[in-house]
Structure 1
């Protein structure tokens, strides 16, 4: 089988034997994968790792079960599946130890992958492989970030990355009002098309936290899907107003930024909740939701498996608006 492994920061295509599923495992023929920001960090050596440096990258995939090991009961040959982002977090509280794809164990940028039957979720017929492959990290992160959001709540999303776009779509499906930020007119138009009620240009309006307050009559956001980290957190606190909003702390795409003022934090009364993507149960809940209330994942471009390098460079350029997907078929 063909499989990619990193060497000196580059992806190298290699030939390796097709693995055989052991007891409790299934063999998946990978049909599509999608890229996330963490994949670039791992390739660049800028993300924590708990395994060797030549692990197969990429955490998100969809495909077909082509063989099963002894004792497997959850899936059969021919079933369509996607993976849960965390292979050992089934439900409930976050485990003490997590082993991530690409940084702790081999990921999914391969033609075949054996995995525990417990680490997979059924892919409904309503989703293509390419759409299914966009769900495990970005969509589930958005889903858990919005837990408890009610109709009429104000949700703030930042930028046009995968998590933010899914958060916008899911928040609108929940009946929320969405304020979104971006830095380009073209991306602002896409955010509006997806349902954003207010779009703010964070370059033209660097004090966009105050602009969120103005756009909501002083109320601020009830839920902030905070993907920027140090680059945006200070403004997110201002956007939270003073009515006990929740900030879902997702990532750290923005590396620089103003220091957080303690009094802004104190006055906001905001709750900060770290998001660790989600469990298999969260993934299953999201898939059931999508079957009942379909939304179409925003896919920017699809690249063939043989051109994973081109997909990575396109994603690295940040010119994309939506998920960058590789098709393995």
Structure 2
């Protein structure tokens, strides 16, 4: 690579349609969509510091230096921002740097700028901002180093940059776009593969449990999204699940049945069946919440679902629950129902978000 270079890449956020929590286990399916709100990563080469990161999520630039095969903050302020605000950005830079090193290349000094439309006043909407940040950064840094990544390569590099606690569903939605059926890989096996064989070989090898497939959108349904205004941390809720010895086989089987039936409905253009399966997926989550007190259904998420059901829509929390967003699917031609739903959500303290599904980006894996 010769001379300074600047590239920008975008990655969309996500919403879960069905399969939350079960998807944490390798090989268990979920349905997700990519949304038309994105994270943009702009990467420039040059400068006298190994890496500089700027983000609208924190104040001021963060300067990084290479250390022990990774990147660390130069001073205490830099290190604090890396730990609390920029860990996903730094991990994304590190995984591309490691791949280049395996190939006998080196990542030049880079300036990485991150801007996000998945927040409001620094508060997350629950649209998979961490995953979108990771995918956008991996893609932009790789492009700046002369590597144009396929959707599969974007996902795999991003997954290798992410901790084992993440299902990777947000990464897949960001990498492929549109409606997708997704199954998580065995993250421990993938991590061991990368440590043993290197990142390049791990990217090309089969990943146990992993599958992704593009799905056709519903024929005549529209997706409405409501934000509770209560940020939720997926890792905390997933930690509660693990501490109770969950998910249990019975929950996984019930979730899988609903998700696979919803996939079948989408494949065959059966909107009524899809609505039924989304309602069933909500009940599976509600039973899990009732049995183990995870805190999935807050008062606002319960009100969001009730308002949707009152007009014949199918609704549920999207993601881990405990706040963040809920979704509703209803007849796209019923404009008065959409208006009524948004009004009732607003009365319940739920903010309707003007969000649409982002089209598919690339071919399936």
TM-score, normalised by the number of residues in structure 1: 0.28
TM-score, normalised by the number of residues in structure 2: 0.26
Say which structure is richer in helix: 2
- Relative contact order (alpha carbons < 8 A, sep ≥ 6): 1 or 2 greater? 2
